[in-house]
């Protein structure tokens, strides 16, 4: 149903294959999900996006699972079905338990609620928060 042909490994250029190979090696997996096959129609975007994600989602002062949960928070807020499905799967692979998912969703829901109280009640920022 997608309007954009998915670029399969066997049909991919050497440039695209190099990114696919790096994705599979980095993620220790043997398949490429549709997101990458779709943006592979634009090799420049494929490469730039993968290089950025690889760098950003790597272990840092935040661990990879925390980063996946932040990804889910953004994706659920934006109502992006693909992103929710793929990053929930990734988070589970990195150890997210049911209990963690439930707390994550509770925070996402509450934040989306209070964001609208803050705007609707036209709350001004406290001086204490400006330093």
11 interacts with a second copy by CB under 8 A: no
Residue 126 tokens read as 């406290």
x/- site string to a second copy, residues 52 to 91, per CB under 8 A?
xx-xxx--xxx---xx-xxxxxxxxxxxxxxxxxxxxx--
CB 16 within 8 A of CB 43: yes
Q: Between residue 101 and residue 120, which ones bind a second copy under the rule CB under 8 A?
A: 102-120
19 interacts with a second copy by CB under 8 A: no
4 interacts with a second copy by CB under 8 A: yes
| Closest among 62, 84, 73 to 115, alpha carbons compared | 73
Burial (CB < 10 A; 0-12, 13-18, 19+), residue 46, is buried
Question: Would you say 14 or 123 has its CB closer to a second copy?
Answer: 123
What is the total count of residues that contact a second copy (CB under 8 A)? Answer: 80
Question: Would you say 18 or 73 has its CB closer to a second copy?
Answer: 73
CB 64 within 8 A of CB 96: no
């Amino acid at each position: 149903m997608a309007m954009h042909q998915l670029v399969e490994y066997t049909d991919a250029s050497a440039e695209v294959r190099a990114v696919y190979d790096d994705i599979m090696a980095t993620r220790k997996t043997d398949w490429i999900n549709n997101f990458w096959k779709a943006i592979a129609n634009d090799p420049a975007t494929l490469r730039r996006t993968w290089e950025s994600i690889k760098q950003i989602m790597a272990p840092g002062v935040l661990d990879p699972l925390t980063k996946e949960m932040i990804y889910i928070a953004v994706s659920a807020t934006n109502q992006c079905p693909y992103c929710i499905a793929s990053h929930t799967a990734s988070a589970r692979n990195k150890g997210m338990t049911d209990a963690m998912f439930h707390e994550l969703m509770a925070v996402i829901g509450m934040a989306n609620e209070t964001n609208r109280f803050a705007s609707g009640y036209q709350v001004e920022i406290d001086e204490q928060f400006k330093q």
